[in-house]
Amino acid sequence: MLSNLIVLPWLGILVLAFVPSRNTDLIRKIGASFAALSFVLSLQLWVLFDNQAVGFQFVEVKKLDVSSLFRD
């Protein structure tokens, strides 16, 4: 969930990179859409946050298989 919150604005930037600069209305709509989606995701985190919990919340753990880097 956190990674989505980080990636979403970058995805919006990537989309905006392919929109012609003279089309300002479309640029504003796309920018506002990605900002709104990011805001909704952040609201979901806020609602799910537990004030009584001790320790980290919303931790994403991804395993890295380094053994595949050293195979012959």
- Is the distance from CB of 15 to CB of 34 less than 8 angstroms? yes
**To the nearest whole number, what is the mean pLDDT of the chain?**
89
Q: DSSP code of 58?
A: S
Take residue 11 and report the two structure tokens written for it.
């995805």
The pLDDT-based confidence of 70 (bands split at 50, 70, 90) is confident
Given a cut of 90, whether residue 10 has pLDDT beyond it is: yes
- pTM summary value: 0.74
Q: Return the CA Rg of the chain.
A: 18
pLDDT tens across 53-68, in order?
Answer: 888 888 888 777 777 6
